[in-house]
């Protein structure tokens, strides 16, 4: 069984986070260490550790994280200028928290996709 991360505690509101959206499938909250003026994480409420663990049964929740990202981008006023959605996977992808999540980054020009 997959090991819970701090994101499960945030989803259950057992520890504090700046939650800006939550429904029965997903939770969105501000990243604790923002890399852009807007940096929000959108996570499924169920624990899926990485993109490698995705199966068809997860499609509703993972589809919802895109829908919610687009809604939040609009609400935050960054949709028209644009933004970046990132999902890291495992060590080479730079994943630090093993509860799958989508980064929504925007509010300034983000430059080339990869720094190195
Ligand atoms: P990853 O590298 O796994 O794709 O991204 C994990 C993200 O989670 C990082 O951007 C990190 O700043 C954020 N993060 C880690 N711990 C916490 C926390 O306790 N609260 C919040 N809001 N963000 C966190």
Is the shortest distance between the CB of 19 and ligand 1 below 6 Å? no
Q: Specify if 113 maps to a domain.
A: no
The Cα-based distances of 108 to 19, 28, 37, 97 in angstroms read 22, 20, 7, 25
Q: Specify if 75 maps to a domain.
A: yes
Q: What is the extent of the structural domain holding 76?
A: 6-106
What is the structure's pLDDT at 116?
A: 61
Distance 11 CA to ligand 1 centre (A): 13
Q: Specify if 112 maps to a domain.
A: no
103 catalytically annotated: no
Distance 60 CA to ligand 1 centre (A): 23
Distance 116 CA to ligand 1 centre (A): 21
* Segments of the chain with pLDDT less than 70: 116
Q: Specify if 28 maps to a domain.
A: yes
Is the shortest distance between the CB of 15 and ligand 1 below 6 Å? no
Give the count of domains, the chain.
1
Q: Specify if 114 maps to a domain.
A: no
pTM of the full predicted structure? 0.97
Burial of 27 (0-12, 13-18, 19+ CB in 10 A): buried
Q: Specify if 73 maps to a domain.
A: yes
Is the shortest distance between the CB of 98 and ligand 1 below 6 Å? no
What is the structure's pLDDT at 113?
A: 87
């Amino acid at each position: 069984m997959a090991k819970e991360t701090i994101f499960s505690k945030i989803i259950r509101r057992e520890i504090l986070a700046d939650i800006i959206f939550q429904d029965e499938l997903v939770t969105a909250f501000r990243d604790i260490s923002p890399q852009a003026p807007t940096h929000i994480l959108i996570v499924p409420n169920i624990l899926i550790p990485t993109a490698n663990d995705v199966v068809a049964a997860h499609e509703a929740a993972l589809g919802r994280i895109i829908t919610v990202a687009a809604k939040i981008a609009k609400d935050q006023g960054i949709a028209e200028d644009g933004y970046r959605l990132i999902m890291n996977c495992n060590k080479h992808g730079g994943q630090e928290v093993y509860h799958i999540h989508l980064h929504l980054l925007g509010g300034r020009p983000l430059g080339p996709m990869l720094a190195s």
